[in-house]
Structures are given as C-alpha cells and as structure tokens.
Amino acid sequence: MYYFRHVDVHVDKGVARLSGYVWSTDAIYQARKIALRVPGITAVSTSELQLERNGRDSGVAR
C-alpha cells in the first residue's frame, strides 16, 4: 500500500502531471501505475517529482 501525501496531480487533455516528492524510486513507479488506471488518463509525467531520502532532497526523480 502506498500513501502519496506529498504528491500533487494536475491533468490536462488526458496527461497526468505528478509533482511533489516521494521517498523511493519504487513509489514513483507505483504512482505512475495508479495514475494510469484512472479512466481518461492516457499518459503520466513524473519529471516534476523529487526523490527525497532521509529528509534530504536528492534532485528530480526520473
């Protein structure tokens, strides 16, 4: 189970743009999978997600 308290979702023309921060790369993949299950979503961008480890910003997660 994942809880994405610090992730914002903005949708435009079927593209979900995820921004905010997560604590693992696995969470990025799970967030993408969850977003793609939403009816009407055709693509997901995670380029604005930040990867944080131990409370420290590690840069943009790809």
Per-residue model confidence (pLDDT) at position 29: 93
Mean per-residue pLDDT over the chain, rounded: 86
Q: Which helix (H) or strand (E) holds 20?
A: strand 15-22
Taking the domains of the chain in order of start, what are their residue ranges? Answer: 7-60
Q: What are phi and psi of 2, to 5 degrees?
A: -125, 145
pLDDT of residue 56: 53
Mean pLDDT calculated for residue range 33-60? 84
**Cα angle value 10/44/30 (rounded, 5°):** 105
Question: What pLDDT score does 3 carry?
Answer: 72
pLDDT digits (tens, 9 = 90+) for 18-38: 999 998 889 999 999 999 999
The pLDDT of residue 46 is 95
Q: Give 3-state DSSP helix, strand, coil % of the chain, rounded to 5.
A: 20, 50, 30
